[in-house]
Chain A
Amino acid sequence: MSARLFRPLFMGLVGLVMAMPLLILAGVSLNAKKRLFFPPDGISLRWYGELFSDTGWLNAVKNSLMIAGLSGLVALSVALPLAWFLWRYNVRYARVLFGLGVSPFILPPVITALGFLSFWATVGMYGQFTAVVISHGIFFVTLPLVTISLGLESIEAEVVEAAETLGARGTTMFRTIVLPLVRPYIISGYAFAFVLSLNEYIVAYMVAGFTVETLPIKIFNSLRYGYTPVMAVVAVLFVLLAMLVFGLLARFGDLPRLLGAWTPEDR
């Protein structure tokens, strides 16, 4: 097999395997009957209709979207000043702070979820909406922290110095130079946190699973207590939403760069 053919073949195969779950989800969501057989029975949009008419599902959608939106902001509020501080100053325990910011995400989620459970139970806020928002916010701090740090690193030191010689410092420097250059990374960090929060199960479950039902919780409950294809509908919509968000990021920003790819010419 020639080298030329190998690459598209290999990548194509991997891509196919990656796409298979998405295909089957689409299949289940469009299936006329409840149980999916191969070959499929018929196409129907009834499950999509059910999602948007069933109050249980709609409520879960609302919860998920609100939690994702708000927790993303919480994560940003922690990540941005921290990343800026670590970039601007030379403090001895900087690495510790960065490690702290990155830990919630690196550790197995079960552990973080359990930690939050213990905390909120002790503090008496177990089961509350705010508790989920804050938990997700802290849990997902890592993503904007990493992307914003990446963005700050990409700013040439001499650009900042040039601004200094022209009279900029402190908040002016931040407002006119740093922020505009780091904005795409802030947005992408938020987008990552948002999309991942929508899909997050265990932390939301352990903190307020019985009172605040998010979509992943509802899906899992459906799996256990009564299968319905509406789960697949949700999954398909989530994937489409993710594709939309990341597609927009790619369209308006430099996605390879946002993910850390710098060619030597860039610097």
Chain B
Amino acid sequence: MAELQLKGVGKRFDSVTAVENVDLTIPDGKLVCLLGPSGCGKTTLIRIVAGLEEPTTGRLLLDGEDITGLPAHRRNFGMVFQSLALFPHLTVAENIAYGLRIRGADRAAQNKRVSELLEMVQLPGLGERHIAQLSGGQRQRVAIARALGLEPRLFLLDEPLSALDAKLREAMQVELRLLQQRLGITTIIVTHDQREAMTMSDLVVVMGDAKVLQIGTPLEIYRNPVNTFVADFIGSSNLLPVTVTGRQRVDLAGQSLTTPSIGAEIANGGAATLSIRPEDVHVLPRGTEGENRIPGKVTFIRDVGASVETHSDCSGMEVISVASPKDRPSVVLGDEIVVELPPASCVVLSQ
């Protein structure tokens, strides 16, 4: 069992607050992604978990035990660094065996564990190679094997795939996820790539400006972003300025739209943002009446083969709609059309 709890964790460097008041539970055996743009504090947070930074406030509890004061070299958390940080003067096998070696394990035990791990990361027989001779993808795997060498309780990864090219990255995302599930190890991954977070995680923690903005499963966060920042950061979204006119009504440039219940923090008459995913927006021929349909004019069509993107100008605002090829709207540039924003897909957020 390895469940990690962060209570009120914060970190300040002189006058700069890197992390502010984080309350978080990382459930046992789950893969959690810390997601956010650069500078949001996610790297600092994972470093605090690793013990490489001391939090200014708050506590860390591992299965209920307070480990806040425990130094990094006693925590036994396996970590993969952004630069991989492989030991340049050691071979692959020596890198992986390092943790065991300094604990005094005998040669046989070291060798056995090294072969196990090399098998696990699909690099059998590469033990005697020097780090400089490896490709980027191979180094990646060695770093993973090394981190898992001591069967750590927590597996931490700081932007592990950022140095890989796109194709390799996508393949590694799947591999890492499968590995983690097979081992059942509690894992925290830091990334700025929201697709990565969506692909791999059980839970996503969206961070911005040193704070935790939202915690939830990938789909929850996608469907119900808590504010415009999250909505914009995860996937792409139409963000339309509206005015709240009722508990389930907003006004968009003179048009009245029905929405799901609006939270109490936005009063009637207040300004808000309507968020709707492009794949939920439908482009229909002019003249069709119905709920939440507003008039517009087609300004741009992007056909990338796998999908068709239609940009429309509705009363001065740009609304983007995405459809699969078979559902492509039969429109051309300049057509007068109607854009449908189904109520169930609308999310009203405070600005």
Residues of A near any B CB (own CB < 8 A): 156, 158-159, 161-169, 172, 176-177, 180-181
Contact = CB atoms under 8 A, between A and B. Distances in A.
Contacts of B344: none
Interface in B50-102: 50-52, 71-79, 81-83, 85-89, 98-99, 101-102
Interface string B210-247: 00000000000000000000000000000000000000
Nearest to B75: A165
Given A177-B87, A181-B88, A165 B102 contact: no
10 smallest A-B Cβ distances: which pairs? A158-B85, A166-B99, A162-B85, A169-B73, A165-B79, A158-B81, A164-B72, A159-B85, A180-B89, A164-B73
Contact of A165 (B78, B83, B88): B78
Contacts of A181: 88-89
Given A161-B72, A162-B79, A167 B85 contact: no
Contacts of A176: 98, 101-102
By secondary structure, the A interface counts as: helix
B149 interface: yes
A163 B98 contact: yes
Q: Determine the main DSSP class of B at the interface with A.
A: loop
Contact of A168 (B52, B73, B79): B73
Considering residues B74, B76, B102, B150, which has the most beta carbons from chain A within 10 angstroms of its beta carbon?
A: B102
B104 to A, nearest CB: 11
Interface of B: 50-52, 71-79, 81-83, 85-89, 98-99, 101-103, 146-147, 149-150
A164 B72 CA distance: 6
A180 B90 CA distance: 10
A156 B83 contact: yes
B87 A163 contact: yes
B52 A172 contact: no
Nearest to A160: B85
Contacts of A158: 81-83, 85
A31 to B, nearest CB: 49
B85 A166 contact: no
Contact of B150 (A159, A162, A163, A166): A166
A195 to B, nearest CB: 26
16 contacts: A159-B88, A161-B50, A164-B52, A164-B73, A165-B52, A165-B75, A165-B77, A165-B79, A166-B102, A166-B146, A167-B73, A167-B76, A167-B99, A167-B150, A168-B98, A180-B89
B81 A166 contact: no
A120 B347 CA distance: 85
B85 A156 contact: yes
Contacts of B77: 165
A164 B87 CA distance: 12
Contact of B81 (A162, A172, A177): A162
Most buried by B among A162, A163, A164, A176: A162
Contacts of B75: 165
Contacts of A166: 73, 98-99, 102, 146, 149-150
